[in-house]
Every structure is written in structure tokens, then in C-alpha cells.
């Protein structure tokens, strides 16, 4: 029997019926990912399986490192085939890691390959996949069309010129590709030299000199307008935690001016961590107000501690796969930020992503504190993210949301991926969702006479479509 078969992860008859009738054929809205806009704009063709599947995939690099493969074969400059073989050697050792499931789902859905990947089968799989890549339906646009991807939200810095998005807007790409505003660098005052360089870059991109906080905000507003003109519907923020302090206008101005004085020699300057937190809170609050005006969704990815392995960071930079779940307290900071925005009626739609499973219930409870008439589930408890987009992680997130909120209004899954091979993660999520519901129906926890079609199709696709006004 094929490992990836029709009943994969579906443990009951009802689960299978729900998936087959209401989930499997739904289109995909990938509202947060890290795909390269240039690749999308150019309808990139991939020369081999490594380029499509393994390049820049830190999930797979982590597994390879844990299996003892040298860094040269992970994030280094080794031959693509040798890197692929190193991954093939690793895959049999990933049992019970979601990578084992993802790997074989991806091979099946993209290339029709049912063979389990290992060192012995790798050469044949390499040849078969590479032959398929020569066909039009394996171009970037072909992949998007085959997987019914109707919208992609990329992740873009405010200083990006968005030329690829301009090209996409005028192209025949079958998928709507929209930029997402990611201003993390705007409040990264912990490294003043880097922050000042970025602020100078913002000034150049906007044409507004950032000599003071008011000009800095004007520059950000100018870039927001550019993003909005190209269809932006969401911002995104990656934070270890939500700040508990919000600086006043005058305090934030003083902090900004102090930071800018560090342009020439940042070694002579530092900013107190409390001031960094207060400035971050101030800017997040101001940005939230702008998102509300633009009808953008604010996404807060919380709970990652990044670049833990300094030697890897110094060689390969960020996003190399050496990050962890942080255990910093989250909820009081969220209460401060969301409460401040709500008090002045400037709270935008917001998605809260939690990386620490111990905080699922606090996050889910926070979402129910803020609401708006005719805006179902205005504050969303985001899908299992990064280390949690696996069976246990997604199940726990769904259970917490169900127990403290409304599962029926949930906007479902996203890839959060740098790889075009990641769209089966939506299938993975949908099978898990249908398995949970189907099993509970058969146990008598849910009424069998009810029609669950609207709930399933809503969570898989329609709720996100409505939430982002697509």
C-alpha cells in the first residue's frame, strides 16, 4: 500500500468524507510566506530538484545537521546533487518528524513519486523529478495553477522597491501576488549601526530625510502608500515578545534622536533596553493606527529567539535554521498593545501567532477580548507556526481555539515557507482538521446530523478570503 494514500491521516469514515467532499478541492490562500517575488515575477524554471526543493529550506538543514551531515552540504556551496544525496541519507532518520510526512507528500503531489526517499532510491527520484521540471506545469506559475493558489502574501521590507510586484501586477500570473509590509527594522535599536544604515535606506527609498521622528514616520507612510498601490492587505511583525511599555510622543522623539546621533560611531552609543521596548511599543501602536486606516491586517509573529548559533550566523547570516522557541512572557505585552489601540478605536484586524505551545490557551483567550460588530473573529489565533506546524502542534492550536473561541471563524493555514514545494502543508492541515472533526462526530461529541461542510470549507479557504477582503 502506498504510504501517501487517499486515507492518509484520516482515521475514520467521517473524516474521509469531510476531507473528500469539503476540503481537498478548496483553493489556497497563502497569506503569509517568504517566497521570492522575483522568482514569481519571472515565472522561474528550476534546473534541478535541489533548486526547487532544498535551497534555502532551513527546516531540512536542521534535520541534516542533526544527522551529522557537514555544513557544506546544508547551507554551504557544495554541488546540488551532493546536497540532495545528503538530504536523502537523512530522510529515513526523520521518522515522527513532520519533515518525513512533508517530504513524501511533496514528492507525491509534485511528481507522482510514491517511492520512499533514501540513499538507495535517491538517484532514480532525482532523475524522474528533474525530467518533470522540464515541463511547463513545473514552472513557478504552473505550480501555482496546479495547486489552485489564488493569493500569495510575500514578506517585504519597507525599503524594497517592489519592482517584482509591479511586474507581477501586469503579468499573466494565475495567482494574485501581494506585498506584505514587514517593518521590523524600524524599531531594531539594539544594533544602532545597522538601524542607522536601514534608516538611511528608508530615507533614500521615500525621498524624505529621516532627521527626526516625525520625518521617520512620514517616510514610513510614503512606503505604506507604495505598498497599498500594489495591493497590500497585510503587515507582518516578527517579535520575540510584544513590548509592555509604550513611549509617549516626546519620549519616543528623544529616543529616536539619541539613536540617530549614533550614525557616525555607534560604539559610543547604546540605548537602554527599557527605552528600546518603549520605542518599539510606541511605533507598533502608531503603525497599528495606520493599518486600521488602510484596512490592513496586522500579523504578529511572537516567540522566536533567532540566530542562536553565532558561528553559523557569522558565516551564513540569518534564516540559516539556528532559531528556537523563546519562553519570554507574552500576554501582558499583548494586553498593553491591543488595549491601547482598542481604547482609541484604532485596533486593526490582527492575527496572533504563538510559537510556545504552553501559551496556546493564554493566546486564545486574548483573542476573545477585542471584537467589532460585523467583523467575525476580528482578532485571530493564528495557525500552528514554524516549529508547531505539525500534527501535535496544529491539533493543540485547534483545540485551544475551539475551547475558547470559534473554530468556525478560523482563517486556517499558511505556508510561512521559502519553497514552492510547500503547498502540501495546506493539505496536511486540512487532513488534520477533518480527522479531528470526523473522529469527534463518530464518538458522539458532535452531532452527526449537522452539515459540517460550511465549517470545513470556511476554515480551509473561505474565511481567509473574507478576512482579507479578497
* pLDDT score of 265: 56
Distance CA 274, CA 138 (A): 50
* pLDDT score of 314: 86
* pLDDT score of 54: 94
1.10.8.10, 3.90.1300.10, 1.10.760.10, 1.10.2020.10: CATH of 48-138: 1.10.2020.10
Distance CA 184, CA 368 (A): 26
Q: Write the CA distances from 465 to 30, 33, 434, 445, 462, integer angstroms.
A: 10, 16, 20, 29, 5
Q: Is 364 exposed, middle or buried (0-12, 13-18, 19+ CB in 10 A)?
A: buried
Least-confidence region, from 60-74, 154-168, 317-331: 317-331
Helix, strand, coil shares of the chain, percent, nearest 5, are 55, 10, 40
Per-residue pLDDT band for 148 (boundaries 50, 70, 90) equals: very high
The overall average pLDDT reported for the chain is 96
Alpha helices (H) in 68-212, listed in sequence order:
80-90, 98-111, 122-132, 140-146, 163-169, 192-206
* Interaxial angle between packed helices 192-206 and 249-260, expressed in degrees from 0 to 180 and rounded to the nearest 10: 100
Name the β-bridge partners of 381.
Answer: 352
Under 8 Å between Cβ of 460 and 433 = yes
Under 8 Å between Cβ of 416 and 34 = yes
Under 8 Å between Cβ of 183 and 287 = yes
- Is pTM, for the whole model, over 0.85? yes
pLDDT tens string 188-205: 999 999 999 999 999 999
Q: Count of alpha carbons within 13 Å of 125, Cβ hemisphere only?
A: 26
pLDDT tens string 59-112: 999 999 999 999 999 989 999 999 999 999 999 999 999 999 999 999 999 999
* pLDDT score of 136: 86
* pLDDT score of 263: 61
Amino acid at each position: 500500500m502506498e504510504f501517501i494514500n487517499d486515507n492518509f491521516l484520516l482515521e475514520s469514515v467521517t473524516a474521509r468524507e469531510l476531507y473528500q467532499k469539503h476540503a481537498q478541492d478548496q483553493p489556497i490562500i497563502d497569506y503569509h510566506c517568504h517566497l521570492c517575488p522575483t522568482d514569481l515575477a519571472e515565472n522561474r524554471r528550476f534546473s534541478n530538484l535541489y533548486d526547487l526543493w532544498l535551497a534555502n529550506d532551513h527546516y531540512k538543514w536542521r534535520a541534516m545537521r542533526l544527522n551529522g551531515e557537514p555544513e557544506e552540504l546544508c547551507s554551504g556551496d557544495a554541488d546540488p546533487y551532493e546536497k540532495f544525496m545528503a538530504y536523502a541519507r537523512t530522510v529515513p532518520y526523520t521518522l515522527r518528524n513532520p519533515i518525513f510526512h512533508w517530504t513524501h507528500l511533496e514528492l507525491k503531489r509534485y511528481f507522482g513519486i510514491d517511492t520512499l526517499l533514501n540513499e538507495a532510491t535517491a538517484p532514480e527520484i532525482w532523475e524522474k523529478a528533474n525530467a518533470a521540471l522540464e515541463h511547463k506545469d513545473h514552472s513557478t506559475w504552473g505550480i501555482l495553477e496546479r495547486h489552485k493558489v489564488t493569493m500569495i502574501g510575500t514578506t517585504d521590507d519597507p525599503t524594497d522597491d517592489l519592482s517584482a510586484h509591479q511586474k507581477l501586477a501586469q503579468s499573466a500570473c494565475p495567482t494574485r501576488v501581494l506585498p506584505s509590509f514587514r517593518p521590523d527594522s524600524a524599531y531594531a535599536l539594539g544594533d544602532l549601526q545597522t538601524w542607522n544604515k536601514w534608516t538611511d535606506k528608508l530615507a533614500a527609498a521615500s525621498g524624505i530625510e529621516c532627521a527626526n521622528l516625525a520625518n521617520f514616520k512620514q517616510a514610513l507612510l510614503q512606503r505604506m502608500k507604495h505598498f497599498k498601490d500594489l495591493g497590500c492587505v497585510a503587515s507582518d511583525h516578527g517579535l520575540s515578545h510584544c513590548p509592555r511599555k509604550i513611549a509617549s510622543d516626546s519620549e519616543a522623539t528623544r529616543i529616536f534622536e539619541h539613536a540617530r546621533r549614533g550614525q557616525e560611531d555607534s560604539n559610543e552609543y547604546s540605548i537602554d533596553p527599557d527605552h528600546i521596548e518603549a520605542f518599539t511599543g510606541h511605533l507598533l501602536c502608531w503603525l497599528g493606527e495606520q493599518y486600521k486606516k488602510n484596512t490592513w491586517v496586522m500579523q504578529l509573529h511572537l516567540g522566536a529567539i533567532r540566530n542562536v548559533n553565532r558561528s553559523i550566523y557569522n558565516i551564513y547570516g540569518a534564516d540559516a535554521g539556528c532559531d528556537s522557541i523563546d519562553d519570554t512572557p507574552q500576554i501582558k505585552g499583548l494586553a498593553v498593545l491591543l488595549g491601547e489601540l482598542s481604547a482609541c478605536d484604532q485596533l486593526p484586524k490582527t492575527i496572533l501567532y504563538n510559537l510556545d505551545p504552553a501559551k496556546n490557551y493564554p493566546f486564545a483567550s486574548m483573542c476573545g477580548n477585542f471584537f467589532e460588530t460585523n467583523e467575525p473573529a476580528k482578532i485571530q489565533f493564528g495557525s500552528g507556526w514554524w516549529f508547531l506546524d505539525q500534527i501535535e502542534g496544529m491539533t493543540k492550536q485547534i483545540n485551544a481555539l475551539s475551547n475558547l473561541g470559534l473554530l468556525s471563524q478560523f482563517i486556517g493555514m499558511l505556508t510561512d515557507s521559502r519553497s514552492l514545494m510547500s503547498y502540501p502543508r495546506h493539505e496536511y492541515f486540512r487532513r488534520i482538521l477533518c480527522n479531528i472533526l470526523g473522529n469527534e462526530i463518530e464518538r458522539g461529541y458532535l452531532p452527526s446530523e449537522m452539515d459540517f461542510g460550511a465549517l470545513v470549507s470556511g476554515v480551509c479557504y473561505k474565511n481567509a478570503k473574507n478576512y482579507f477582503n479578497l
